[in-house]
Each structure stands twice: as structure tokens, then as C-alpha cells.
Amino acid sequence: MRKYLPNFLKPIIRFVYYKNERKKIFREFQIRKSQNKAIKELYSENESSLIVFLIDGANWFTGTDSISGGIMSISSIYEETLKLEELHKCKSIMVTHKDAHLLLRLTKFPNNIPIFRFNQLFQHFKKLNKIIIHIPDCYFNICIQQLIDKHNWFTHIQDKHVNILNQNILLMPTPSEIAQSYIIASKVTQTTAHDKYTNKQFRDFYKIPLHKLSVFTDCTKYYAKKYKEKENLILFSPDDPLKNKILSSKINFDLPHYQTRTIENLSYSEYLKLISKAKFTITFGEGLDYYFIESVYSGSIAIAIYNEDFFTENFKELTTVYNDFECLKSNIVNFIKTCDNSPINYQATNSQQKSAINAVYDHQVYVNNIKKFYLEEYTYN
């Protein structure tokens, strides 16, 4: 029935039938008003050079943002980009893509990033000579089509650069999809978050320059605790509820003195405090993700299944990185008992994990890699 309705009627029907739609309309009226005021205060209409970060928007039900490793990573790159303005000579702006529900701020972790809406780019900036647009891999196709729809706006811009934020190799667009971006761009690149897919093979496959950015890591922000300070708490990432349920049932039966909990519905500061209390964190996401890294930096032991798309070879040596779910399920209880019987071994395991992470991630290298991107000194040109 819906597909036969005229387009102009659909918003009216949604407004009548859905309470959340009514709440959204009133909420976004205020957001637009604030955004219109803010863009005039923060950006001149005569800006000549602009760096754009495209992100997803608010949740339709709650009207708020969701926390994720991806959005935190993009926010970190944005903040480091701001610090480099003397280098790249551009203003930086973060906008939600055209189909996203509007956001004014990212509220789940500490930041001072104002968020604008997609159409404000074309309404406000009329005299650009240079633009760099960072698009997350998972939103590339929707965002690039929206930008192509505005291709007339790009005609007077001489230097047009689209960069794909390759945060998850499994979500990357295909080479033919990437080729569409040349309709609006004179240059297309990709920046990577993981060492595993930072190589010439992927540069040649996608036929665009590839540059390693890595991800933000800063040990000083974590509440690192030793074994004796921690609680009998095991945390799960929210990536695979079924595996969480299976493993949680086993742990609760064999280790009744332990509490299990899935990480969800927390602000970033609440999350950091929670992982510092836990003795173990089990992630069924990418494996080498923020749940793994940040738990280790919080003094905990992180447990994962080896994912060849993200883990580098050195992580195979860790006793806490298993070949598959059945192997993890068979060994997890005995491993936890062993750690409880020897706090010294617990601390040694955490130190071993930290060494493996530090071999891949370094904050100063990350900052330098961002500088090199804007200097066009790519890892694989």
C-alpha cells in the first residue's frame, strides 16, 4: 500500500500515526534553528577551504546519538585535524548525512564538536576552492549518491578530494562503487584503521591511494586497576547476543561467584569505569576492537576469537585469542580459574596483551599519520 502513496502524503501519514515522528519534528525544529545560528557564528560564507566529516545521526526513537568505536574514531580524527589547521589551511566541519535524523551534539563521550546537517554545506559555503570529504566506509554509497545529486555545487571547486574512512574492511564499497565518486571528485583515497588491511594488495584492489591512520589510543584516560582491585565481573561486547547468552549461562553455572553483563546503554565515562572493575571482557565483534584494547589498558584481560581480517599475526600468540567459538567455550572456565589461582599470571597476561597492542598502536604515530595524510604523504600512493 505504501509504495502506491504519493510522496507528499507519506510525511503527513507518518506524523499522524507515529508519536516518535511528531517528537522528532518538534525536536528537529529547534536543532535546525540552533544549527543555522551556529554555522554563521563559526564559519564565514567566504571560506575557501573546507574539510568535511560525514556521520550518521540520531536514533529515531530516542533522539540521541549512539556510542560506537566508529564515531569515536571519526571524532578523534576530527579533533586532531582541528589542531593541524596551520598545516592544511582548512576549516573543519562535521555533518550528518542527508537521510540522518538531526543531531546538535555527540553526548555519549567528552567532546566539543558542533554537528551540522548535510544541506548546510550547500546553503552556506558558496566560495570554496578546496574541499576534503571524509566518508565512513559503511555510509559511502548513500553519502556519495547524495553528493552526486549536488554535483552542480562542486563545479566551481577546483580541488575536490573524497576520502573513505576504511574502519572495517568488511564494510568497504566495491571498486566499481568507489569509481562513482570521480563524478564529483578530482582525487579519491582511503585511510585505514587496522594494520591487517594496510598493504599494497588492498591499495591495488581498490585502485586508489591507501594511507594508514590507525586509531586513537591514550593510556592516560583509563582507570587502570590491578587484579586485587577488580570485581568478579565478566563483560561481553554487544555484538553477538546469542553467543553472549550461551557463554554467560556456562559461566554462571560453573563460576557462580562471577557476575556477567553485556556492555550497553552507557555513556563513555560510565563504560570506562565499568571495564576498569571487570576482570575479563569478551568481545565477539571485530576482535581487535575498542572493547579489547580499552579493557587491556584498564588492567583487565580481554578475550576474543581470532579474526584474520583485523588481528595481525602477533595476536595469535596470546592465550586469550581463540581460534573459534567452540574452543573459547571449552576453555574459558579453566582459564578464568587459572587466573584466579595466580594473580601474578593474571597481571602477566594483561602485560603480554598490552605489549601486543602497543606493537600495533602508538598515539604519536597516529598523530603523525594524520599529518602525513594532509601532506599527501600516503603509505601506498
313-329: pLDDT as tens digits:
889 889 999 999 999 99
Closest-CA residue to 333 (of 257, 258, 253, 251) = 251
What the chain holds in terms of domains, given with CATH numbers, is 47-217+363-374 (3.40.50), 219-358 (3.40.50.2000)
Lowest mean pLDDT among 4-8, 95-99, 183-187, 243-247: 4-8
Per the prediction, the chain carries an average pLDDT of: 91
Q: 210-212 and 231-236: which strand pairing?
A: unpaired
Give mean pLDDT, residues 75-98: 96
Confidence (pLDDT) at 265: 85
CA distances from 147 to 38, 119, 144, 162, 374 (A): 23, 10, 5, 10, 22
Q: Which three cell numbers stand for residue 303?
A: 578475550
Q: Is pLDDT of 24 > 90?
A: no
Whether residue 371 is predicted with pLDDT greater than 80 in this model: the reply is: yes
Residue 195 DSSP one-character state: G
Of 126, 133, 102, nearest in space to 115 by CA = 102
- Read off the C-alpha cell for 309: 581480517
Query: How far apart, in whole angstroms, are the C-alpha atoms of residue 112 and residue 134?
Result: 19
Most confident of 2-16, 23-37, 242-256: 242-256
Q: What pLDDT does 17 receive? A: 56
Q: How confident is the model at residue 107 (pLDDT cuts 50, 70, 90)?
A: confident
H helices of the chain, where? 10-17, 19-42, 69-83, 85-88, 118-124, 140-148, 151-154, 175-179, 200-206, 241-254, 268-277, 290-297, 325-341, 343-358, 363-374
Q: Which three cell numbers stand for residue 187?
A: 582525487
Which pLDDT value is given to residue 225?
94
Q: What angle do CA 157, 207, 68 make, to 5 degrees?
A: 75
User: Between 346 and 25, where is the model more confident?
Assistant: 346
pLDDT band, residue 200 (cuts 50/70/90): very high
**Rounded CA separation 155/148 (Å):** 11
The DSSP bridge partners found for residue 282 are 236, 303
Local confidence band at 64 (pLDDT 50, 70, 90 cut-offs)? confident
* Pairing state between β 115-117 and 130-136: unpaired
Give the full edge-to-edge strand order of the sheet including 159-166: 115-117, 91-96, 49-55, 130-136, 159-166, 187-192, 210-212
Residue 6 has pLDDT above 70, yes or no: no
Residue 178 confidence (pLDDT):
96
In order, the DSSP letters of 226-273 are -GGGSEEEEEE-TT-HHHHHHHHHHHHHH-TT-EEEE--S--HHHHHH
pLDDT(66) > 90: no
Q: 53 pairs with which residues across the strands?
A: 94, 134
Average pLDDT over residues 343-365: 92
Decide if 305 contacts 324 (C-beta within 8 A): yes
For 282, the 3-state DSSP assignment is: strand
- The mean pLDDT value for 176-185 works out to 95
Is the pLDDT assigned to residue 67 strictly greater than 90? Answer: no
Does pLDDT of 13 surpass 70? no
